[in-house]
Amino acid sequence: MADLQNGVLVICHLAPGGRFNSNVLVRENQHTYQKNNLDAGGFRCSKSKNGSPARLLALEDGTYFMTTGHDGHDNKEDHLKYCTVKQRMLERARDTRQRSRMIFEKFATCVAYRNMNPEVPIAYDANLERAMQRARRSAQPPVPQTIDEADASLIASELYNKTADGTSNFYHGRVSTPAGTALGFISVVMLPLLRTSEEIACDGTFATLPLLFSQLFTLHVSAYRYTKSLYQLILDRILHVLRTVPGEGVGIIGMVSD
């Protein structure tokens, strides 16, 4: 894989680099080059930090001129395949809600993909997990600083306003009193079960599910400045959403609360 030519015209293309959304310039012999920031239009060998002297210059016609040749180190063929697989995984992390581990396992067990890239050594480790988390974060809105910002970003993003399977609304708007505001998250998949249960026992702090109880619902209420009127508004919102869910009637015979 030695690449010792100086002063020749070469053909290159861009390929996925090691970082998300990054690219490297690849020669037809699978050596790779990065932009040389000190030199307009110039590229340096990806191994330049290890002492490789190779340099390319981008020409106006789209070809590249090899100003300095290599010292004969191995090319990056395997690494390029690794980067291609990794980039696909990071894209999936960004664009879906699948867990990082699941994304990796799907790629690792995909026969067609393994046949295409039989030599790609790829393992699920802390670095890959972090890279997937970063990719996921890149598509997320900034952390809201106010209730207005939180409300706007919840409305704008299906990632947050839909349930995990993406089939129904999870965010159901906010309710406000002069004293405070609450954001309402309600799973409409759970509501019919709640409505048709005959007995419901409620407590503020069930740390564990007591004996004789077969089902446990949790209502997560997080309100800024708790007041009775705000709680009333939250419960009204839940009832309002419940009325939009298919099915009729309430099956509750007994409800115990404190």
Instruction: Give the residues lining the site for Zn ion (CB under 5 A).
Output: 45, 47, 52, 54, 70
Residue 30 or 98 having the CB closest to Zn ion = 30
C-alpha separations of 56 from 18, 42, 47, 63, 150 in Å: 20, 6, 13, 10, 48
Q: Could you tell me the maximum CA-CA distance found in the chain, to the nearest angstrom?
A: 88
* CB of residue 155 to Zn ion, shortest distance in Å: 51
From the list 86, 102, 198, the residue with the least C-alpha distance to 135 is 86
Residue 33 or 104 having the CB closest to Zn ion = 33
* CB of residue 18 to Zn ion, shortest distance in Å: 16
Run of H or E residues at 93: helix 77-95
Residue 10 or 238 having the CB closest to Zn ion = 10
- Cα(86)–Cα(16) distance, rounded to whole angstroms? 9
* CB of residue 68 to Zn ion, shortest distance in Å: 9
Report residue 181 as tokens: 């505001």
Residue 45 or 194 having the CB closest to Zn ion = 45
> Phi, psi at residue 54, to the nearest 5°?
-60, 135
* CB of residue 47 to Zn ion, shortest distance in Å: 4
* CB of residue 52 to Zn ion, shortest distance in Å: 3
Residue 70 or 136 having the CB closest to Zn ion = 70
* CA dihedral over 52, 58, 62, 67, signed as positive or negative: negative
Q: Looking at 96-197, list the stretches that DSSP marks H as alpha helix, in order from N- to C-terminal side.
A: 100-109, 111-116, 126-138, 147-156, 158-161, 191-196
* CB of residue 45 to Zn ion, shortest distance in Å: 3
Residue type, 156: A
Residue 24 or 45 having the CB closest to Zn ion = 45
